Structure 1
Amino acid sequence: MSPRLLSRRSEPAAAQVATARQAASLLLGYPDEDLLARLPLLRAAVAPLPAELAGPLGRFLDHVETTPLEQQQAEYVETFDLRRRCCLYLTYFTHGDTRKRGMALVQFKHLYSRAGMTLSDEELPDHLAVVLEFTATGDAARGERLLTEYRPGLELIRLALEERSSPYAAVLQAVSATLPPVEAADRAAVLRLAQQGPPGEDVGLDPYGALPFAPPEFIPQPPPGASAGAPA
């Protein structure tokens, strides 16, 4: 197959990923009347996407359409503002509430600035919705690196939402589907983060205790012939 055909075939996939990330960015913002007004546009944008993207995003759009706005707003605050494992600020998972987090936030802003984008004062630059918008409409390569660098935190958010049976789990599932499969190093990082929490947090305190909601692939298994409670 010629390089030209390869190039043309890759373009729709990139466009579909960008569309999914832009939709997820809007859906991870605080729900308001503007979101409701965008529903027809979001429906039209999501419908042609591959099933692994259109399916979860479509399910969340169903939730938005059938749930009173006041209830959505209460769910958003209860989910993302009051539960640390569902925190949408990505640097929190790597730096906690330490000085290093402040430095990381400055680096995010510089990255956006170099791409010609200016962030408003309404949101911190590491909010997942902001990162997704930057990846979809700003600099796809740099945005992809950000999502990859902070993949363990992103996956922990997804797992926490799934454990709570939150409608927002569908949005994180779609975001995860735009990325390569989770590698072994990231799986280990997710488990370690869930057990220990970010820097500055006390190990073992809720919500960063053991990971009862972790799927089997994230839980170390005993070697063949060993009982579940026996030391490896």
Structure 2
Amino acid sequence: MLKLIGVLLDYPRDELWQHGEELLAAADDPALSRGRRRQVVAFVEALLAADPLDAQDRWLSTFDRGRAMSLLVFEHIHGESRDRGQAMVDLIDAYRKNGFELDAKELPDYLPLLLEYLSHRPQEEAKEWLHHIGHIAGMLAARAAERELPHAALFEILVEAGEGKVNLEILRQRASEEIRDDTVDAMDRLWEEEAVRFGTDAPSQECDPPHRSPARALNREVQP
């Protein structure tokens, strides 16, 4: 289930449409409730029915514009503080300790990547991780619902899997009161702020969200 949600939250590369039957089969997961299963199947069917270019453009508009819907987990916890860098180093160490190697441009706190890793870990460990990030998943679910995005159900499933005390109603109310950060005006303000950063402080291209193959995500195995 976690691997599938990671694939569905990841950037929809062209290869995804070549694995439609696999995605639909994975969506019919008995671990999910009947209602959640219907939502995931509907999400997959809608995605496969979409034009790849349109789906990719929607993904970029959703997750790569502004920070509120960022899939970089530690950005929601640490922002741009130094603590985020140390947290990522610690997470990379945890990955390597368990035989999970990253590609050069993959950021360890990218949610689809974390979910792929957790799909190979013991159930209790995965639940503990999801419990730890439950508030983040809940806030993403609330913001997705506020924006009428089908991804809301995927984030809600992560909240439920973590069995945390996350009050989605309160988070939805908070999301309804937030000022959107993905509008043209908001993006202009962000670019103005970033313009003062230069030299060694300039953002690197390595900070782009990793766009991985869904086929690889579905079949990748952690080496013992």
Report the TM-score, using the length of structure 2 for normalisation. Answer: 0.70
Deviation at 1:110, TM superposition (A): 1.1
Contact 1:60–1:171 (8 Å) recurs in 2: no
Structure 2 unaligned residues grouped into runs of 5+: 183-224
Structure 1 residues 174 and 52 mapped into 2: Cα distance closer, same or farther (>3 Å)? Answer: farther
Among 12, 15, 21, the residue aligned to 1:40 = 21
Indicate the structure whose relative CO is greater, using CA pairs within 8 Å and at least 6 residues apart. Answer: 2
1:23 is aligned to 2:4:
yes
Distance between the aligned counterparts of 1:79 and 1:180, measured in 2?
26
The sequence identity of aligned pairs, in percent, is 22
Deviation at 1:152, TM superposition (A): 1.2
Q: Displaced runs of 4+ in structure 1, greater than 6 A?
A: none
Distance between the aligned counterparts of 2:121 and 2:101, measured in 1?
10
1:109 is aligned to 2:109:
no
Structure 1 residues 78 and 86 mapped into 2: Cα distance closer, same or farther (>3 Å)? Answer: same
Show the counterpart of 1:167: 150
Distance between the aligned counterparts of 1:52 and 1:114, measured in 2?
37
Provide the aligned C-alpha RMSD in A. Answer: 2.8
Which structure has the larger Rg? 1
**One-letter amino acid of the structure 1 residue matched with residue 28 of structure 2:** A
Determine helix, strand or coil for the equivalent of 1:165: coil
Distance between the aligned counterparts of 1:141 and 1:104, measured in 2?
21
Contact 1:46–1:57 (8 Å) recurs in 2: yes
Contact 1:63–1:167 (8 Å) recurs in 2: no
Contact 2:6–2:112 (8 Å) recurs in 1: yes
**One-letter amino acid of the structure 2 residue matched with residue 35 of structure 1:** L
Show the counterpart of 2:129: 146
1:157 is aligned to 2:140:
yes
Structure 1 unaligned residues grouped into runs of 5+: 1-19, 196-203, 209-232
Structure 1 residues 205 and 28 mapped into 2: Cα distance closer, same or farther (>3 Å)? Answer: closer
Distance between the aligned counterparts of 1:177 and 1:56, measured in 2?
14
Show the counterpart of 2:37: 54
1:68 is aligned to 2:32:
no
Q: How does 1:58-137 map to 2 (within 5 A)?
A: 58-137=41-120
Deviation at 1:111, TM superposition (A): 1.2
**One-letter amino acid of the structure 2 residue matched with residue 25 of structure 1:** G
Determine helix, strand or coil for the equivalent of 2:136: helix
Report the TM-score, using the length of structure 1 for normalisation. Answer: 0.68
